[in-house]
Amino acid sequence: MTNTITRRTAILGTAGALLLSGLVRSFADVPKTLKLAVILQDLPDVGWDRTLLDALEQLKQERPEGLEIAWEHTDPLYGDDAENAMRFYAESGEYDIIWGHGTYSDQVQKLSVEFPDLMFVVTGSGNHPAGPNQYWIYKRLHEPSYLLGMLAGHTTKTGMVGIVGTFPANDVNDQINAFFEGAKSIRPDIQHRLSFIGSWSDNALAAEHANVQIAAGADVVFMLTDNFKPCQEHKIMCFANINDQSKVAPDAIASSAIISWKPDLNWIIGEWLKHKAGAQFNGNAEPKWFSMAEGGTDIAPYHDFDGKIPQAVKGEISAKRQEILSGKFVVPLNTAEVK
Amino acid sequence: MISFQRRSGSSLGWNVVCYSAAISGALLASAVLLRLSGGDPARAFTALIVGAFGSQGALLGSLAKATPLLLVGLGTVFAFRAKIWNIGQEGQVFAGAMAAYWVSFWIAPLPGWLAVCTLALAGMAGGGVLGLLAGALKTRFGTSEIISTVMLNYVVMYLLAYLLDGGPWMATGVTVSYHQSPPIDPSLEWPILLAVGAGKLHVGFLFALAASAFAAVLLDKTSLGYEIRAFGSNPTALTFRGTNVRRLLLTVMLMSGALAGLAGAGELFGVSHRLRAETLLGIGSSGIVVAMVGGLRPSGVMIAALFFGALESGTIYMRLKSGTPAGLVSAMEGLVLLFFLSAAVATRLQIVRREVHA
């Protein structure tokens, strides 16, 4: 008996072998681990940084796409020190994503061409496009700020609400406008006091501005800075932003406009997996942000204020939140500077 | 009985003993701090040395970090040798960067080398004018330069804050980040002399070397240098000699501020390429430390600047490699200063054994 290989068998055999080898290769190429190097602009306990590290911790437990997630983070770095740190991580070859958690496009621009297979992420304002392997994430807190504005409108007795801001930046103005809009939706005659302290972190100055606003009649204050002593001393309701800061001043902070980095991280992981599967990097030139409906932001629980806020008010805010989530109500995104 | 007594001359051997003890003491105290904060001193120091000298790139990085410290340190030497307590170097560094940035709007058509020199001169003018202002306040109104220079620091920093936070120098674009200008015109970036990996050494290093030679010659070989030293030890005698001490004081403040201003211009056009307060903060105060550790001598300042430049460059690697917190790095720099100042006092003393007669 002679062994003859027919043409059909040969074709089927070759196709099968190719398919099998492709399958084996694709299984072998599916990444099992993801390692990030995170460059921080502030200390890890500052809200902007803490929320990212918390989200990474959650994702580590959840293992999206079966990935084992690990990361290293620095203490505050900027300028050429940040660039050196990024280069150190890039050259080590141990990291898949270099995440500059702040304004780092200048540094990424100097490295992105040299390390074209490495993914860079930058966050927040002040960044700019820096090549296809830089992804730019933004945060918009106008939706939860609107809801806090509604609570402020219901709570104020003097008819005046205050905001102590950092800088009139694009991603600060959106919160301020939405907060006032929310308050006006409840009380159209609402008055406001607004001041910018000209710093991201001068808490003593923030307290001085808050005291001035309270003395001028504001009895609900949205603190975009981290000092709630004036609220406690004057026994008024205040709000925080970025993370749930109720524990800092449970007797003063009724709620907070909070951010979550989980949708951002999931998006980045998805883009990174696409690249690992063979696609080109496709970094965004316009900043990308995730809405409340997408899980990017929310309002924090009322904690100690739960029993103090009337049920009807809570119900109204909850209903508006649902409308925002369903898309029935769209909070206007207004980044104009409020005077 | 053993006692200490002021030394009449200086002894090389004793100096070596004192400064070696200072380095060992500073390292030991730093190791204790590292250990107390849960770190591994051996790992941290190894990372520090590798980060500062471990490769050509690291070495260039250390020299680049030493450049502004050397310039500010030399400026401080002029002032402190005359016992004029200019401690406004922070503001003078800022003023230099700001003046050079302002001038950069007008000089884009100039050829490369001319633009570099113009920007360097503009930086020197910015820092120098600020120094001169503090000097004028002293000669005209008797205002203590300690107070005026510190106060001028705030004036300059808040002026920059205004210019960058909504003012005319603020970056604009899709989104803005407060605290920074747009990038400078790439044609005005100072040439890089050598670059290996992350280590880039810009032309400002040559300015710093030239300034070191200038300072050494001026202080030791010229009548102005003699007057500066004499002003520090006996200004009254200098007046009787016929020296115009007011003019001398103004000259010293001008030179001191100008060198700090040059450091600021170099950092802006050679390193950061964008005016931003964070990248300039601390250079002035570190430069004063460098001058003190260097014994207020240009040669000493060069060594001290290299040492602190290496420390600053190496600490980035140390922070990443061994997880040493940034605060501890500042504490280590402080310890080095403390031990060196103690050593400087010790070099002026000698141990004397006296026989006690009953």
> What secondary structure, in 3-state letters, does A194-225 show?
EEECCCCCCHHHHHHHHHHHHHCCCCEEEECC
Structure tokens at B75: 């400026």
Judge whether A131 and A283 are in contact, CB under 8 Å.
Answer: yes
A337 lies in a domain?
Answer: no
A81 lies in a domain?
Answer: yes
| Pairwise CB contact (< 8 Å): B176 & A77 | no
Task: For residue A336, give the DSSP letter.
Answer: S
Tally of domains within chain B: 1
- The segments of chain A whose pLDDT lies below 50 read 1-3, 23-25, 27
The number of helix segments (H) and strand segments (E) in chain B equals 14, 6
d(CA B63, CA B58): 9
Backbone Cα Rg of chain B: 22
- A148 and A125 in one domain? no
Judge whether B178 and A167 are in contact, CB under 8 Å.
Answer: yes
| Pairwise CB contact (< 8 Å): B198 & A84 | yes
- pLDDT-derived band at B310 (thresholds 50, 70, 90) equals very high
- pLDDT-derived band at B358 (thresholds 50, 70, 90) equals low
d(CA B219, CA B237): 19
d(CA B358, CA B356): 6
Q: What is the ipTM of this complex?
A: 0.75
B61 lies in a domain?
Answer: no
Q: Long-range contacts for A193-196 (Cβ within 8 Å, ≥24 apart)?
A: A193/A160, A193/A161, A193/A162, A193/A163, A193/A217, A193/A218, A194/A162, A194/A163, A194/A165, A194/A338, A195/A163, A195/A164, A195/A165, A196/A165, A196/A166, A196/A167, A196/A168
d(CA A107, CA B297): 37
Which one of B50, B157, B165, B175 would you mutate to disrupt binding with A, by most A Cβ within 10 Å of its Cβ?
B175
- Using a CB-CB cut-off of 8 Å, the residues of chain B touching A87 are 197-198
A15 lies in a domain?
Answer: no
Write down the pLDDT at residue A267. Answer: 97
Q: Name which of B61, B276, B325 is nearest A75 (Cβ-Cβ).
A: B325
**How far is B280 from chain A, CA to nearest CA, in Å?**
10
- Whether B326 and chain A come into contact, CB under 8 Å, resolves to yes
- Using a CB-CB cut-off of 8 Å, the residues of chain B touching A83 are 198
A251 lies in a domain?
Answer: yes
- pLDDT-derived band at B112 (thresholds 50, 70, 90) equals confident
A9 lies in a domain?
Answer: no
- pLDDT-derived band at B175 (thresholds 50, 70, 90) equals low
- A226 and A309 in one domain? yes
- The answer for B 197-216 residues in CB contact with A (under 8 A) is 197-198
- A235 and A166 in one domain? yes
Write down the pLDDT at residue A1. Answer: 41
- Using a CB-CB cut-off of 8 Å, the residues of chain B touching A169 are 175-178
Please name the residue that has the structure tokens 């058509």: B109
Please tell me the pTM assigned to this model.
0.81
Write down the pLDDT at residue A15. Answer: 61
Tally of domains within chain A: 2
Inter-axis angle of helices B283-293 and B245-266, nearest 10: 120
Write down the pLDDT at residue B174. Answer: 53
Residue length of chain B: 358
Write down the pLDDT at residue A12. Answer: 61
- A86 and A61 in one domain? yes
Structure tokens at B182: 């747009």
- A199 and A62 in one domain? no
Nearest C-alpha in B relative to A114: B197
- A60 and A168 in one domain? no
Does residue B13 surpass a pLDDT of 90?
no
B342 lies in a domain?
Answer: no
- A216 and A160 in one domain? yes
Burial annotation B133-158 (CB, 10 A radius, 16+ → b, else e): bbbbbbbeeebebeebbbebbebbbe
d(CA A217, CA A97): 49
Q: Write the CATH number for A80.
A: 3.40.50.2300
B12 lies in a domain?
Answer: no
pLDDT tens column, B59-96: 999 999 999 999 999 999 999 999 999 999 999 999 99
Q: Checking DSSP bridges between strand A297-299 and strand B199-202, what pairing results, if any?
A: unpaired
User: Apex CA A238: angle with CA A237 and CA A242, to 5°?
Assistant: 150
- A146 and A126 in one domain? no
Write down the pLDDT at residue A25. Answer: 47
| Pairwise CB contact (< 8 Å): B166 & A127 | no
Structure tokens at B98: 């700001």
Q: Domain of A233? A: 142-258+296-326
A304 lies in a domain?
Answer: yes
B33 lies in a domain?
Answer: no
B19 lies in a domain?
Answer: no
- Using a CB-CB cut-off of 8 Å, the residues of chain A touching B161 are 198
- Name the residue type at position B222: T
Average pLDDT over chain B reads 89
Q: Quick one: average pLDDT of B118-130?
A: 97
Judge whether B320 and A74 are in contact, CB under 8 Å.
Answer: yes
Structure tokens at B206: 């040559």
- A118 and A106 in one domain? yes
Q: Domain of B107? A: 75-293
- A265 and A211 in one domain? no
- Whether B94 and chain A come into contact, CB under 8 Å, resolves to no
Structure tokens at A14: 């070759």
Write down the pLDDT at residue B83. Answer: 93
- pLDDT-derived band at B173 (thresholds 50, 70, 90) equals low
- pLDDT-derived band at B329 (thresholds 50, 70, 90) equals confident
A226 lies in a domain?
Answer: yes
pLDDT tens column, A18-58: 555 554 445 456 789 999 999 998 888 889 999 999 999 99
**How far is B314 from chain A, CA to nearest CA, in Å?**
11
| Pairwise CB contact (< 8 Å): A88 & B320 | yes
A333 lies in a domain?
Answer: no
B326 lies in a domain?
Answer: no
pLDDT tens column, B238-263: 888 888 999 999 999 999 999 999 99
Write down the pLDDT at residue A39. Answer: 96
Judge whether A277 and A102 are in contact, CB under 8 Å.
Answer: no
- Strands (E) in B123-269, as ranges, are 180-183, 192-196, 199-202
- A209 and A172 in one domain? yes
Nearest C-alpha in B relative to A91: B197
Q: Checking DSSP bridges between strand A253-259 and strand A297-299, what pairing results, if any?
A: antiparallel
Q: Quick one: average pLDDT of B95-103?
A: 97
B266 lies in a domain?
Answer: yes
- The answer for A 60-79 residues in CB contact with B (under 8 A) is 72, 74-79
- A186 and A307 in one domain? yes
Ranked by mean pLDDT, which of A325-329, B159-163, B274-278 comes out on top? Answer: A325-329
Structure tokens at B171: 């970056």
- Whether A80 and chain B come into contact, CB under 8 Å, resolves to yes
Judge whether A120 and A100 are in contact, CB under 8 Å.
Answer: yes
Write down the pLDDT at residue B306. Answer: 94
Q: Name which of B166, B180, B317 is nearest A88 (Cβ-Cβ).
A: B317
Please name the residue that has the structure tokens 């995170």: A38
Q: Name which of A91, A106, A170 is nearest B274 (Cβ-Cβ).
A: A106
